[in-house]
Amino acid sequence: MLSDTEKSEIEGIMEHAETKRSACVDALLIVQKYRGWVSDEALADVATTLEMSTAELDSIATFYNLIFRKPVGKHVIHVCDGISCWIMGGHNIRDHLQSRLGIKAGETTADGQITLLPGDCMGACDRAPAMIIDETLHGNLTIEQLDKVIDELKDGQA
């Protein structure tokens, strides 16, 4: 069941949309904003609201890199895998994150706190290497800075 807040936000989008289905990406992102990801059940509810088949909506949901059809951690780290970051040592940043967090890219820590994902070029090539944590961009990363950011993130959980 969609919550009342989710329903009213989706209806708000549909009000000025040309067709119901043209609100589908917004609707999926609204659900994800509140739940962290889009479950099968939530997807079916959105499909009903937009008068689409679940299969068709799922083919759209799974097309996008940032609509999550599996649960993710409380925080999601996107470490840039783009060419400019790679030149500037972005793979070292990813390797360090993997060993610090004890997970591989694509996985979530056992406590469910942090998911690590490789990300497409983040358009921060003048600040390479870069990563995005939730909605914050971190650029010109060094290993020391990275440790500090991760420590702060972990402290924030306590």
Partner 1 sequence: MNEARPLTGAMRSDRRALTIDEYEGVGGYQAARKALKEMSPKEVTAVVKDSGLMGRGGAGFLTGLKWSLVPMDDVSPGPKYLICNGDEMEPGAFKDRYLMEGNPHQLIEGMICAAYAIQAEKAFIFLRAQYFEAKERLELAIRDAHKKGYLGERIFGSNFSLDLQLHVSGGRYICGEETALISALEGQRPVPRSKPPFPGVSGLFGRPTVVNNVETLSNISHIVNHGADWFKGLSKTDQGGTKIFGVSGHVNRPGLWELPVGTTIREVLEVHAGGMADGYKFRGLLPGGGSTDFLVEQHLDTPMDYQNIQKAGSRLGTATMIILDDKTCPIGFIANLMKFFAQESCGFCTPCREGLPWLARMLYSFDRGKATERDIDILQEQTGKIWIGKTYCAHAPGAIEPLASGLKYFHKDFMDHIEHKGCPWS
d(CA 56, CA 139): 38
Q: What angle do CA 124, 125, 126 make, to 5 degrees?
A: 95
Q: Give min distance, CB of 112 to partner 1, in A.
A: 23
Told to check if 147 binds partner 1 by CB under 8 A, we report no
137 contributes a contact to partner 1 by CB under 8 A = yes
By CB under 8 A, is residue 59 in contact with partner 1?
Answer: yes
Instruction: Name the residue nearer to partner 1 (CB basis): 68 or 108.
Output: 68
82 touches partner 1 by CB under 8 A: yes
Task: Please measure the distance between the N-terminal and C-terminal CA atoms of the chain and give it in whole angstroms.
Answer: 31
Q: What is the DSSP string of 15-37?
A: HT-SSSGGGHHHHHHHHHHHHSS
The β-bridge relationship of strands 75-80 and 114-119 is parallel
Task: Please tell me whether residue 125 binds partner 1 under the rule CB under 8 A.
Answer: yes
The CB-of-67 to partner 1 minimum distance in angstroms stands at 5
- The residues, any chain, with a CB within 8 Å of residue 76's CB and separated by 6 or more, are 114, 115, 117, 133, 134
Which range in 40-48, 105-113, 125-133, 150-158 contacts partner 1 by CB under 8 A?
125-133
Which residues contribute to the site for partner 1 (CB under 8 A)?
Answer: 16, 18-26, 28-29, 50, 52, 56, 59-61, 63-67, 78, 81-84, 86-88, 119-128, 132, 135-137
